[in-house]
Structure 1
């Protein structure tokens, strides 16, 4: 049975006021309109809900029960609408964000604190991952609503919005001939094997991270396979290759046996927030705004 809450509201108001006239004034309706709503409600439930007396109207036993339960329904409906509006505005709910610590440690604590202050009813959960595959799996599987990813993603299931750019740096063994340089060029790195997860990433992602081909058209030299940043660093320390990474990685990994040298002629890395193409997370606009602000201030 379809139950119109406006009809229930009319009954509750009439009972609370004890008069159709006063109820009509409170509801900003005519007496005829309120009487019509009451008749429609009685027809729906199939029983008398109001008893007319010389002093006004009083609810029948069925009317009292409907008023009791109807009042709860009206309160729940109001609460539901308020919560839905808050969720739609990104002011309540749960936001789960996948991240790699080395890419976000310089700004995410501030962003989370601001989001919690701005929307205290929103739960912000940070989901730590180590690889691109883990982040994409978390997004696709619903374990994360958004994720911090370096562009390109190489997966058209997701939408992304850029947050910041970072200079590329190269990790070198301390005894490498270029280790004491203030900066290097890609030409000076020609022939150096580059370590990283080249066997498991989409081709366009591999080309971006390994800068392949180089500006002069020569191919990059692929070094040993490494799945995580930590594995990359271990390979560099073992003198099995170099690792090209965002500048934030150099700040995050306190690795005294390595030298980090900026690359002057390489395109910067671009960090973005990604989310499933057909499922925009709550607080997305606010998350982007604060990330862009604090990311640049935290550099």
Structure 2
């Protein structure tokens, strides 16, 4: 079978890269990392048609095929593998160059890029972004979509994002953080579960149950810490850690009990479930995290907005046990 690149009509070698733009590079990088046009389009807040058109334009400009599309998604060709590695370096370099040039010119880039997981932090961060931009019309808050906490860390470490919202402990990394509040833990269970009518639950009462935690932890040590901290009693299996979207479904389907920080559990609990506070689980700290490159004045404003929005949410959305 011939190399996919040979299918292009113009096979003249390129001695230098043609004119590219950062949008094309970011689009291709997202598709390469997601392995799917659909997921990449959701991550970039664009349509699949627009994203596909950008990739085709990029392939024509480079003179090579970068992606092979099939029923399972997309895979990289040999040329795609090389370009994906180079695109990541180019985007980071362009961003660093922009910062340096603006610094020399005595200007600042009034932009804050915040990692955002649509299933757990999106609604809260949208309100924070609105609050920040309303206070400073010259500020642009960019929400960088991710699917998991490890992906959040990759975006921060690569320089593609400046800050984010997470829970402690963070594990071994160089992120800076500030605590913006504490969450207690709740049990989300089917309305007809034998424990659903209780006002509060100690962990010991959950010893015989199948327990599930949301995948909100930044590292394996953090995951192990909370799995052990929320284990009802010694000798019983530790809670299973699954995608945040799975917990409410498991609870509603009577397949287990979902344990979650109160803000998360209250937001995602299904109407067919009850939310009951756990009396003796240690609280979990919610934090704003940021990198050493981030603008300290903007981070200060982000922390203030997060604390204010958290207080407003507690005042306007009081806890209700279903």
Normalised by the length of structure 2, the TM-score is 0.57
SS of aligned partner of 1:221: coil
Q: Distance in 2 between matches of 1:77 and 1:274?
A: 25
Aligned residues: 212
Q: Paired residue for 1:279?
A: 293
Give the Å deviation of 1:169. Answer: 0.5
Q: Distance in 2 between matches of 1:269 and 1:78?
A: 39
Q: Paired residue for 1:221?
A: 237
* Preserved contact between residue 224 and residue 240 of structure 1 (Cα < 8 Å): no
Give the Å deviation of 1:124. Answer: 0.3
SS of aligned partner of 2:229: coil
Higher radius of gyration, 1 or 2: 1
Unaligned stretches of 5+ residues in structure 2: 1-100, 315-322
Q: Distance in 2 between matches of 1:225 and 1:195?
A: 6
Q: Distance in 2 between matches of 1:150 and 1:78?
A: 33
Give the Å deviation of 1:102. Answer: 5.7
When residues 190 and 77 of structure 1 are mapped into structure 2, their CA distance, relative to the original with a 3 A threshold, is closer
Q: Distance in 2 between matches of 1:210 and 1:223?
A: 6
Matched, 1:294 2:309: yes
When residues 79 and 142 of structure 1 are mapped into structure 2, their CA distance, relative to the original with a 3 A threshold, is closer
Greater shift after overlay, 143-152 or 230-239?
Answer: 230-239
Q: Distance in 2 between matches of 1:294 and 1:246?
A: 17
When residues 105 and 167 of structure 1 are mapped into structure 2, their CA distance, relative to the original with a 3 A threshold, is farther
Matched, 1:258 2:283: no
Give the Å deviation of 1:180. Answer: 1.5
SS of aligned partner of 1:261: strand
* Preserved contact between residue 102 and residue 249 of structure 1 (Cα < 8 Å): no
When residues 111 and 151 of structure 1 are mapped into structure 2, their CA distance, relative to the original with a 3 A threshold, is same
When residues 224 and 165 of structure 1 are mapped into structure 2, their CA distance, relative to the original with a 3 A threshold, is closer
When residues 80 and 194 of structure 1 are mapped into structure 2, their CA distance, relative to the original with a 3 A threshold, is same
Q: Paired residue for 2:17?
A: none
RMSD: 3.0
Residue of 147, 151, 167 corresponding to 2:168: 151
* Preserved contact between residue 145 and residue 275 of structure 1 (Cα < 8 Å): yes
Deviations 1:26-45 (A, max 9, x none): xxxxxxxxxxxxxxxxxxxx
Give the Å deviation of 1:179. Answer: 1.2
